[in-house]
Structure 1
Amino acid sequence: MTLSADVVVIGSGVAGLSTALGLAATRSVLLVSAGDGSTPWSQGGVAAAFGDDDPDEHLHDTEIAGAGFCDPRTVRMLVEEGPQRVAELIAQGARFDRDADGSLSRTLEGGHSRPRVVHAGGDATGAEIHRALRSAVQRTGVRTVEGRVTGLIKSDDGHVVGVLVDDGEGVEQVDARAVVLATGGIGNAYLTSTNPPAVSGDGLALALRAGASLVDMEFVQFHPTVLFTGASGGQLPLVTEAVRGEGAVLRDNDGRRIMAGLHPRADLAPRDIVARAVEATMRRDGTDHVWLDATAIRPDVLRRRFPTVLESCARIGVDMLTDQIPIAPAEHFLCGGIRTDRDGATDVPGLYAVGEAAATGVHGANRLASNSLLEGLVFGRRVATALTLELRRATTGRSQTVLLGRDHEPERIREVLTRSAGIRRDGLQLETAAEELEPLGSGPLATVARAVVAAASTRRDSRGCHWRSDHPHPDEQWSGHLAVRLDHDGRPAVQQHDLAAAH
């Protein structure tokens, strides 16, 4: 039996849940979940400028971190609408940490000019936001299906009108008037990531195969402080940036501070700068990790603010209160994604994207800390508002089913992408990677890996979290955004694109 809904939302992280919640009162919604995504693993918090903080300062910090590649209009939406979304989240039951006087507790993170990051459970903000949103969605009666979306259905006139869902027992067709991709980033395309295994680029691959554009795929952010466990692959525990906000510092094997003199904000410089400094130190010393020293922070502060990090460290025999923490960078966040307008609409009618899967323009070439949960809240509501105000009538003609292909040797894909498109890149490695990825199938990992490599090969300069050792400086020739589409042979084709024009 074929299911149907006005809107199918794929993904149950903050962006998907926010979208479903915003639509629940006016549209029939089906939420498809293949796991909880990255939201429950987010530690730091939500950046929001309110009270004596000015949204213009938040905007300025966002644009500085984004290395001049942010879209000012969508950043302004983020910083001005953000506090209202946080207030609504509190009204829905989210329990944020508060100071003794009852006000929301705010901390400092890298790239921010002042403390503006609200948090929950010390370092369990994502888990609390996910709990609150999921409970709110459940109260609305939104239908939920557990499964993986394996295909999109398009009508005769090119509109997306449904999905195929594999629930483990078979493939079900779901008809819809619109489909929203809230599937997260591409973490599982790399050997190590802070993302869970289900975050594997499925939504981006489906959108690309359906005819949509991907934008800014070269800007893959690596978090500089991920717990070094000795594992050779998979999801690794994050050591939140807020630990450095409370006073922790990075040290090399000889105890020297890594960030001293490299940036005015030292250990709280934007993530791309810190990650490159850590990688350069490891390469210089021939080590596989460096150290984060939090021993100067009072033990009561560490216990109250970072219970998750304390527990992760304890599992590998490290006492965060007295020991230095072994850390190394790992893939963390895709700053680009599926090209959308300010309301989440893609190049393909009926197909929307939101959250990390979407390129809204708010992150530019490097995401500012704690803007990701905020993006999901703000743009999830914007997509819901757009689909509440205007939703195309359903059509009956079916002309095409867009399917996810199959990855050959997925571990090989991860190895190639990690080697060629990590923190440090060069043209020869990227050229070799493109050749090596060619025979490795048409599944999501291979599709997004080819898109990253194609964009990184094309951009012959360095900015934000894209750094090429053979072109180490920004070049105005490459001041435009790069869009990736598939050509007639299914290969990625790259062209310069004005992202702001879409917004």
Structure 2
Amino acid sequence: MQQVDFLVIGTGIAGLTYAYKMAHRFPEKKILVLTKAAADETNTKYAQGGVAVVNDPEHDSFEKHIEDTLIAGDGLCSKKIVEIVVTEGPDRIDEMIALGTNFDKEADGDYKRGKEGGHSEFRILHHKDVTGWEMERALLEAVATCPNIELIKHCFVIDLITQHHLGYLVTKATPDIECYGVYVLNLRTNEIETILSGSTYLASGGNGQVYRTTTNPGIATGDGVAMVYRAKGRIENMEFIQFHPTALFEAGLTGQAFLITEAVRGDGGILRNKDGEAFMERYDARKDLAPRDIVARAIDSEMKRTGTEHVWLDCRHFELEKFLEHFPNIYEKCKSIGIDITQHMIPVAPAAHYSCGGIKVDAWGQTSIRNLYAVGECSSTGLHGANRLASNSLLEAMVFAHRCFEQVSKKALSGELNEHHYKGAIPEWNAKGTMQPREMILITQSLKELRQVMSDYVGIVRNNIRLERASKRLDLLWEETEQLYRSSKVSPQLLELRNLITIGYLIVKGAIFRKESRGLNYNTDYPEKSALVQNVVL
């Protein structure tokens, strides 16, 4: 059992930004950062397109960015939060640039700005087609200079520690649930450790691995959301799963698909069906630059209508030199599988990409559990509403990391943070009566079933029969997995399966409760929007 001053879970942009700022504000205090994989294996790393920000007042304005975000969110955004993120964003970008992030520039020294679906102006700052990787690099280098930050890799957080572990009955109705820290499986020693902290900060990322094909890396298994739900914290809007319209289609591929950034369409890429028709004009006046929910549904419709597994992204009219300058990794990836973008169109299909819902937080990142904060894709701030505007996610992570930093700093300086009076009473992890699972197929097969159910029944287009079937199958998977969990020694595979089943349950329940089609939740049994605009809180 160890005690730290500030505990951070996750090493993407949300986690590292917060850790770096806390380290400088409190040089005498210890900040512990945990990640279950390598330090740079995060959703941030795979963010290609860039970060949306208003820093060209001559051609753009806060009002335009706010309006674009509200339109994309289809009535469910919190206008107050949208205004906060958009107006505070430029300062956060300046901080990232000061830390050494290199955004692409024009010959005259001004920043190159891209345009993506749903944006009315060119405002996407980028570093070629690996913007997230570049921001992650700068942050990791900055964190490495802080002697009071300890970054431990290959540590899997199992559960949050609350009053429940002290023997109290904790329910959703329990007032003042408190987080004291976490139980962690150290993958190097295979031991389970207890870590206590005055504040716990979740930056655990997304949950795309609940689907058969996703742009997310293998670590995106919804661990933070699942832990908070088990701890009786509030979760909202999980039905709004954004499918990126253009993941590279490779026959037979499951798991992580290569992303073809929306910026390619922003630069003039055209979606075509199997007959070569540019079909987007039949679905939306904005054509290929409509918001992602509209483009993904249009592609899904074309694939079903023509009986194909993908559509095409036509870049043959691009100047090769400019394509290579902006999208070198996409060019190399396509080339590696025999696609010459000057001669061939790129096969693309939608893939699970981003969770717009998550752990419900306030304007300072505070969850419904005391001393527990959540930022980034695992959180639901009110920015994205029913559909995230392209390239708003990195901006949100930076803004809320800073707001959490301000809030926790204030509490630390005033002595408000929990002093852990229960330290001696918190039990060590109890693995009594458990054994190593004898057959890994019990885990791997359940994971396959989960992904098939979610992809076939809870994808881009849904209906009540599919959702009911998904619900029944998930109930059975949950029962089987909980039985295995109670009798087995924990492993990363079992923990991730358990978390993903919880994520699937939350997505399905949210979709069942939302009896309308809004944003990313399109239900053919309720094709219209409801007059009652509300969040689904679970």
Establish whether TM, by shorter chain, passes 0.5: yes
Normalised by the size of structure 1, how large is the TM-score? 0.93
Q: Residue deviations 1:132-189, cap 9 Å, x none?
A: 0111111112111111101221245741111122121112211111111111111111
Tell whether the 8 Å contact from 1:22 to 1:385 is kept in structure 2 after alignment: no
Residue 54 of structure 2 corresponds to: 49
**CA separation of 1:295/1:380 partners in 2, compared to 1, >3 Å: closer, same or farther?**
same
Residue 144 of structure 1 corresponds to: 151
**CA separation of 1:317/1:72 partners in 2, compared to 1, >3 Å: closer, same or farther?**
same
After superposing the two structures, state which structure 1 stretch, 13-22 or 285-294, moved more.
13-22
Paired amino acid for 1:148: F
Determine if the alignment matches structure 1 residue 463 to structure 2 residue 518. yes
**CA separation of 1:190/1:322 partners in 2, compared to 1, >3 Å: closer, same or farther?**
same
Which of 432, 439, 451 aligns to 2:476? It is: 439
Tell whether the 8 Å contact from 2:47 to 2:130 is kept in structure 1 after alignment: yes
Tell whether the 8 Å contact from 2:5 to 2:197 is kept in structure 1 after alignment: yes
Q: For 1:402 and 1:21, locate their aligned partners in 2 and report how far apart those are by CA, in whole Å.
A: 30
Residue 102 of structure 2 corresponds to: 95
Which has more radius of gyration? 2
Q: How much does 1:450 deviate? A: 0.4
Q: Residue deviations 1:387-444, cap 9 Å, x none?
A: 1111413213146889999968111111111111110100011011111011213510
Q: For 2:132 and 2:398, locate their aligned partners in 1 and report how far apart those are by CA, in whole Å.
A: 12
Q: Residue deviations 1:166-220, cap 9 Å, x none?
A: 1211122111111111111111111110000111011100000011011010100
Residue 494 of structure 1 corresponds to: none
Residue 34 of structure 2 corresponds to: 32
Normalised by the size of structure 2, how large is the TM-score? 0.87
Residue 86 of structure 1 corresponds to: 93
Tell whether the 8 Å contact from 1:47 to 1:118 is kept in structure 2 after alignment: yes
Residue 213 of structure 2 corresponds to: 192
Q: For 1:158 and 1:242, locate their aligned partners in 2 and report how far apart those are by CA, in whole Å.
A: 43
Residue 463 of structure 2 corresponds to: 426
Q: For 2:418 and 2:249, locate their aligned partners in 1 and report how far apart those are by CA, in whole Å.
A: 52
Determine if the alignment matches structure 1 residue 241 to structure 2 residue 262. yes
Tell whether the 8 Å contact from 2:7 to 2:33 is kept in structure 1 after alignment: yes
SS in 1 for 2:136: helix
Identical aligned pairs, as a percentage?
40
The answer to which structure has the higher strand fraction is 1
Q: For 1:125 and 1:187, locate their aligned partners in 2 and report how far apart those are by CA, in whole Å.
A: 20
**CA separation of 1:444/1:403 partners in 2, compared to 1, >3 Å: closer, same or farther?**
farther
Tell whether the 8 Å contact from 2:244 to 2:351 is kept in structure 1 after alignment: yes
Q: For 1:32 and 1:132, locate their aligned partners in 2 and report how far apart those are by CA, in whole Å.
A: 18
Tell whether the 8 Å contact from 2:194 to 2:428 is kept in structure 1 after alignment: no
**CA separation of 1:430/1:400 partners in 2, compared to 1, >3 Å: closer, same or farther?**
farther
Aligned pairs for 1:286-435 (under 5 A) are 286-391=307-412, 392-397=417-422, 398=425, 409-435=446-472
Paired amino acid for 2:382: G
Paired amino acid for 1:211: K
Q: For 1:305 and 1:403, locate their aligned partners in 2 and report how far apart those are by CA, in whole Å.
A: 52
SS in 2 for 1:74: helix
Residue 112 of structure 1 corresponds to: 119
Q: For 1:167 and 1:229, locate their aligned partners in 2 and report how far apart those are by CA, in whole Å.
A: 35
Residue 19 of structure 1 corresponds to: 18
Q: How much does 1:51 deviate? A: 2.6
After superposing the two structures, state which structure 1 stretch, 165-174 or 414-423, moved more.
165-174
**CA separation of 1:325/1:20 partners in 2, compared to 1, >3 Å: closer, same or farther?**
same
Paired amino acid for 1:482: V
Tell whether the 8 Å contact from 1:152 to 1:402 is kept in structure 2 after alignment: no
**CA separation of 1:7/1:431 partners in 2, compared to 1, >3 Å: closer, same or farther?**
same
Q: For 2:75 and 2:514, locate their aligned partners in 1 and report how far apart those are by CA, in whole Å.
A: 15
Q: For 1:454 and 1:114, locate their aligned partners in 2 and report how far apart those are by CA, in whole Å.
A: 37
Q: How much does 1:46 deviate? A: 0.5
Residue 495 of structure 1 corresponds to: none
Q: For 2:247 and 2:427, locate their aligned partners in 1 and report how far apart those are by CA, in whole Å.
A: 43
